[in-house]
Structure 1
């Protein structure tokens, strides 16, 4: 595929477009209990399991990167750890369903052999099963690759989104490939995925956070686009685009939510104040959707917005 840099918008250009057309939003901060004084952020969108709504969240001390992923259920407006449910020593959870199975993923941090407090790398891990209480590990991503996401396509095959860096991906691009089934998911699958073109300028980066199968077979991708400012602070924005899984052709990225859409609040560190992490999207119908986000690496919110995937189904 030939790269066309003129087609690629910067964060600043995308922000200008977003602010010019920003519509009505409804914001709701999620309340959690049962995890001590730890923060809960980078939540998934809720999903139904055995008749109750469940979401996953990253649970972490404010001054630490060592986190756990909990399953939560909501009672009287407060999210509590699901009773008698295994937790995972992972960051940034994700989920999907493929051929009836629940697929759960997250990022495992790797520490130095001589210092268990020093993180040297990370690996995305995947678990599968028909029941939350009996998920089994089945696949690991390559070292240092986050933002790997899976989706069942119209024909039953599996779409795989990756996030290569370095020689192939710079600070972080999005890759995609299709495999016949989960049994074909292995490290080489992630490494060989084709890098999508014209999504991010070289100085910026992004990744996929969740994939939705749309009417007509296109894939709606929820993700993030990010950049540094001159002071070294990070800026993360929620974004979306669609992908043709047969041709691997993607529509241009568009920003769908920013930090200023949410109330002022605590952050993990100063350089993370302008960071939101899109964890999942629940489509409501009628042109509306609810986006689940982590805010400033410290809080969890839901925000009702215009459905970003509607235009790809028209």
Structure 2
């Protein structure tokens, strides 16, 4: 079944219980999008967000926001400003790890990008400690039961397409400590096969250890579509699957969200009108999950869905 067909079936049967656009205060004149999942530190709820002017590309900053109301977030004054895009977090032991994409320029022109990683116990004093491979996004970490750390990679490009048919792959490896997280280790992570079809791409956005020992993955899966005028549209969908690190097998890949699940709103460019860039889920007291995403590269949203890993264990 093609991803387009899966999307049609999902739209016909989806169950969305709440849908909201997040509001951000303290950054007038800037969009906030492609956020991290909300997290709790020192008894308060925060998230990191990509802050950028609507008319600009690859000139963004990552700022820390605190929750100040239902779906309302306010920038934390005097907090660190990171020269990054698309932030994400992992909690490894007592430490918070912040990752994001750092774009490099040479002579005023775009050159390349890398994943940068920061760590620390104090949310307001994270320090830069390692760099991912050249031109690799969507590197994600997950704590494992034995104290080790699972690492998901996301190679993408012409070489991947010519060998595997899909534009990207997902890899997975294990390190003993954060100090072992290097570009070489990430780049050489063995691939997980069978996630993406011909011409598709995507990656892991947030990974969760389940009490079964498996890993619940929330990510994005994408294809190129056409708008009503025949113009190309990059279709980004929210997806989930389960990965068993012992057998290296993935299962239960499913769509869990699309642009139509979130409130109507603008897009940064015409080819991003059908784009939701996944952040991850946060469990609710009622057993459902709040799924967060960037919308159209200019907003962030939240939808409430059924728990996507039912039958595979609960989040640890």
TM-score, structure 1 as length reference: 0.92
Q: Cα 1:285–1:241, aligned 2, differ >3 Å: closer, same or farther?
A: farther
Matched residue, 1:5: none
Matched residue, 2:302: 302
Note if 1:191 corresponds to 2:199.
no
Alpha-carbon contact 1:287-1:310 (below 8 Å) kept: no
What aligned pairs does 1:22-61 form with structure 2 within 5 A after superposition? 22-61=14-53
SS in 1 for 2:264: coil
Alpha-carbon contact 2:205-2:279 (below 8 Å) kept: yes
Matched residue, 2:121: 130
Q: How big is the alpha-carbon RMSD for the aligned residues of Structure 1 and Structure 2?
A: 1.5
Note if 1:105 corresponds to 2:79.
no
Q: Determine the C-alpha separation between the residues in 2 that align with 1:22 and 1:179.
A: 37
Alpha-carbon contact 2:22-2:300 (below 8 Å) kept: yes
Report Cα offsets for 1:41-93 as digits up to 9, x if no partner. Answer: 11122111111110111110111121111110122443111132101010000
Cα deviation for residue 252 of structure 1 reads 4.1
Matched residue, 1:6: none
Q: Determine the C-alpha separation between the residues in 2 that align with 1:73 and 1:63.
A: 26
Q: Determine the C-alpha separation between the residues in 2 that align with 1:88 and 1:24.
A: 34
TM-score, structure 2 as length reference: 0.92
Q: Determine the C-alpha separation between the residues in 2 that align with 1:291 and 1:76.
A: 17
Matched residue, 2:232: 232
Alpha-carbon contact 1:43-1:280 (below 8 Å) kept: no
Matched residue, 1:223: 219
Structure 2 gaps, min length 5: none
Q: Determine the C-alpha separation between the residues in 1 that align with 2:152 and 2:10.
A: 25
State which drifts further: 60-69 or 78-87: 78-87
Matched residue, 2:3: 11
Q: Determine the C-alpha separation between the residues in 2 that align with 1:85 and 1:33.
A: 14
State which drifts further: 258-267 or 139-148: 258-267
Matched residue, 2:137: 146
Structure 1 gaps, min length 5: 1-8
Alpha-carbon contact 1:10-1:200 (below 8 Å) kept: no
Matched residue, 1:62: 54
Q: Determine the C-alpha separation between the residues in 1 that align with 2:215 and 2:127.
A: 27
Report Cα offsets for 1:283-307 as digits up to 9, x if no partner. Answer: 1254410011111111111111111
Report Cα offsets for 1:140-184 as digits up to 9, x if no partner. Answer: 111110000001101111100000123246521111111111111
Note if 1:158 corresponds to 2:149.
yes
Cα deviation for residue 228 of structure 1 reads 0.7
Note if 1:213 corresponds to 2:206.
no
SS in 1 for 2:186: helix
Matched residue, 2:79: 85
SS in 2 for 1:229: strand
Matched residue, 2:66: 73
Matched residue, 2:265: 265
State which drifts further: 98-107 or 278-287: 278-287
Alpha-carbon contact 2:154-2:168 (below 8 Å) kept: yes
Cα deviation for residue 253 of structure 1 reads 2.0
